[in-house]
């Protein structure tokens, strides 16, 4: 699942927007300043999500998500709005909707690193590693210092059994700013695949030190500690 920071980042790529596809003066007025409106909506949604979207906040979450979705109709060419809706759809386990929106962003040739990283993640989830790798390789050539591209590429390589290459990509992702706790977790998976449980334990422990609530890392660390000695 996407973190709140990812959703906020999706709303912050206004500089990459293609602009609103205006369809007359009324549409132009409605689409005025879409970057600021989207940023405000996303910030409100994240504030309510932090409370769990329960009770009254649940109604607010639905309303704000509807407003973000409505902005796609008002400003159909606004890339950050498409990206924000794709992130929300993926978070809500509607990958087919997210995929459609991401393909719309990616259809013009060019650099679309955030959209490509999420689109590749959906392909990985579906087991389509070949597509994910092709897309990530293409986008890394265009934006070689994008941390999420390298991190997602590392995950695809790991799943394909290319462990040294996966480690290289994860190292690059860390150098370009990916959170160390995520990189440590991925490196733990690689260490496990190499039958190095002690090394894997250290990586998972490192990940948990930075993110104590991360259930996936805790689960793998527990399993390693309870495994019988060889």
**pLDDT tens digit string along 2-37?**
444 555 555 444 433 334 443 455 455 678 889 999
188-200 per-position pLDDT tens digit: 999 999 999 999 9
Tell me, what's the pLDDT at 58? 75
Rounded Cα distance, 139 and 151, in Å: 13
One-letter-per-residue 3-state SS of 29-81: HHCCCHHHHHHHHHHHHHHHHCCCCCCHHHHHHHHHHHHHHHHHHHCCCCHHH
Residue 49 tokens read as: 């999500």
Rounded Cα distance, 175 and 63, in Å: 39
**CA-CA-CA-CA torsion sign (23, 28, 33, 39):** negative
CA angle 144, 150, 153 (to 5 degrees): 125
Residue 88 tokens read as: 């929300």
Rounded Cα distance, 145 and 80, in Å: 20
Cα 94 to chain centroid distance, Å, stands at: 14
Q: What is the CA radius of gyration of the chain?
A: 19
Is residue 144 scored above 80 in pLDDT? yes
Tell me, what's the pLDDT at 15? 33
Mean pLDDT, the chain, whole residue set: 88
Average pLDDT score over residue span 160-185: 98
Say which residue, 77 or 163, is predicted with more confidence. 163
Task: Check if the beta carbon of residue 114 is closer than 8 Å to that of residue 148.
Answer: yes
Say which residue, 8 or 181, is predicted with more confidence. 181
Tell me, what's the pLDDT at 171? 97
Is residue 111 scored above 70 in pLDDT? yes
Task: Check if the beta carbon of residue 114 is closer than 8 Å to that of residue 9.
Answer: yes
Q: What is the pTM of this model?
A: 0.85
Tell me, what's the pLDDT at 1? 35
């Amino acid at each position: 699942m996407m973190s709140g920071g990812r959703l906020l980042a999706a709303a912050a790529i206004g500089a990459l927007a293609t602009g609103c596809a205006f369809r007359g003066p009324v549409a132009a007025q409605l689409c005025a300043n879409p970057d600021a409106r989207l940023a405000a909506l996303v910030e409100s949604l994240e504030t309510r999500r932090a409370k769990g979207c329960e009770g009254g906040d649940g109604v607010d979450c639905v309303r704000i998500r509807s407003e973000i979705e409505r902005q796609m109709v008002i400003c159909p060419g606004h890339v950050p709005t498409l990206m924000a809706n794709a992130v929300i759809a993926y978070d809500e386990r509607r990958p087919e909707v997210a995929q459609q929106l991401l393909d719309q962003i990616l259809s013009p040739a060019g650099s679309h690193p955030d959209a490509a990283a999420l689109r590749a993640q959906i392909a990985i989830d579906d087991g389509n590693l070949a597509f994910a790798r092709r897309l990530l390789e293409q986008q890394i050539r265009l934006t070689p210092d994008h941390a999420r591209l390298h991190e997602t590429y590392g995950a695809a390589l790991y799943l394909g059994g290319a462990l040294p290459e996966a480690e290289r990509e994860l190292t690059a992702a860390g150098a370009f700013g990916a959170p160390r706790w995520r990189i440590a977790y991925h490196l733990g998976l690689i260490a496990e695949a190499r039958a190095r449980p002690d090394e894997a334990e250290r990586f998972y422990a490192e990940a948990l030190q930075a993110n104590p609530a991360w259930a996936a890392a805790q689960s793998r660390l527990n399993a390693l500690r309870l495994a019988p000695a060889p």
